[in-house]
Structure 1
């Protein structure tokens, strides 16, 4: 009877340990990546179709004002970037793959903004949430500098992440809610033309 009494809690502890281990494995894959690539409508449309990406949220980060609105940020004096928060499954697509893809969806040589959008909110950046992300970003940037197909300097910053504020509902998945207006904006802004000039291809077209 004593042996039976002792073994039952031990087995329970083993089961609990196993459950905790499985829980850690299950929760290890989902991650988030924060990037600024100019107009967040465009960055969202570039990343949402990527396999392994489960959600992309447009928003603001990096500034000194809590809960900023689009009107406040667009004036350019709050310090915020237009940012997207990318939720992805690391078992399907790695942070390194997404980072390398990010470079080819932007003009990393423009210090004033992106394409037809100029000003502080439209500058490019990668925001690291921990040391591991920073190491991935730094390595990707080093590879880019060694192999970039153009001579201009890379000015995209690698910055520590700050609080992310989701943008207003009408900005979320704007390209699917207003495809004609979005398509006209992207074309008239010259985004894809400039990307093709820099990189020789438009990386996001593989998903459209």
Structure 2
């Protein structure tokens, strides 16, 4: 159970003030009201609010526990689904908007997750899913290496050739422009791509 930060603040209040807090659910959050009745009980006060708020608090704890258990069960299902993907192979799932959710197993516990959307997705970052235990994993954004190799390094190499034959100005910044652009583009898109990809990743696997 988490520490109730209101208890120390309310210790100096009178019984009447504590009862006012306990009875005002529209003004005070449940933690504050629960702290008030804990202090009242400690003082031997038998306010009628005590049992009511104790039950309300107990119901909240049970709901939080239920959500936590459901979250763990959902993660177990997702991990089980991921482990059915052979290493170095992809699982492609069509989305309702016409795009595709692509999950590639990189190694035993690491997966690359991305949304395939023709050219735009080729310049977007990916999400890495790393399995920690049988009931937990972490998700974090990462550069889409294939995009950097093809458009970044490939484009830089092309600019270097064009520069060497005099078609482009022999300028280092200009030659490196493709790889700089691709990396910056992925960095800028990271926050948006992360939340969208994670949303579809969790919801699509839960439905399978």
Shorter-chain TM band:
under 0.3
Structure-1-length-normalised TM-score: 0.26
Structure-2-length-normalised TM-score: 0.26
Q: Which is helix-richer, 1 or 2?
A: 2
The answer to which structure, 1 or 2, has the higher relative contact order (CA under 8 A, 6+ apart) is 1
Which of the two has higher C-alpha Rg? 2
